């Protein structure tokens, strides 16, 4: 039996964003549960599971798209963490953000770099805690 869109999306979401992605979906349950379901089914069930790009490439495209939109710091943070979760280096994430500078301008790139810094620092704090 083939997995449903929601099942495929839930698996992809967990693989990419782990607890952070599920926290986003959970945060919508009291006000817009359909939006959470659509994100799981469409974005992760239909788009992220397509052939043609691997998860690292998909996260780089997503990061670039979020940088160009601006005002997407919470989503950008989730996808920067997702990029790290699927094996991209911090340097690759930074380069993807810097690549946007000529096209979207310095303010959006600076904002995105600051989001990346926060995600990277949070990851360092988490790894320091696991050493205790």
Section 114-120 average pLDDT:
98
pLDDT tens figures, 31-67: 999 999 999 999 999 999 999 999 999 999 999 999 9
Section 89-108 average pLDDT:
98
Domains and CATH numbers, the chain: 1-50 (no CATH), 53-131 (1.20.1290.10)
* Strand (E) or helix (H) holding 110: helix 106-131
Section 22-26 average pLDDT:
93
**Token reading at 89:** 């280096």
Instruction: Collapse the DSSP code of 59 into the 3-class scheme (helix H, G, I; strand E, B; otherwise coil) and give the result.
Output: helix
CA dist 110 to 26, 87, 96, 97, 106, Å? 30, 24, 13, 9, 6
Q: Record the pTM.
A: 0.89
CB neighbour list of residue 120: distance below 8 Å, 6 or more residues apart: 90
């Amino acid at each position: 039996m083939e997995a449903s869109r929601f099942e495929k999306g839930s698996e992809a979401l967990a693989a990419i964003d782990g607890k952070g992605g599920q926290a986003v979906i959970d945060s919508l349950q009291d006000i817009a549960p359909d939006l959470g379901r659509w994100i799981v089914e469409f974005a992760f069930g239909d788009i992220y599971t397509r052939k043609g790009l691997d998860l690292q490439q998909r996260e780089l495209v997503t990061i670039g798209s979020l940088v160009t939109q601006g005002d997407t710091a919470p989503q950008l943070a989730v996808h920067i963490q997702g990029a790290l979760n699927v094996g991209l280096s911090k340097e690759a994430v930074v380069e993807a953000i810097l690549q946007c500078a000529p096209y979207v301008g310095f303010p959006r790139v600076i904002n995105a770099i600051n989001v990346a810094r926060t995600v990277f620092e949070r990851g360092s704090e988490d790894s320091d805690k696991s050493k205790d």
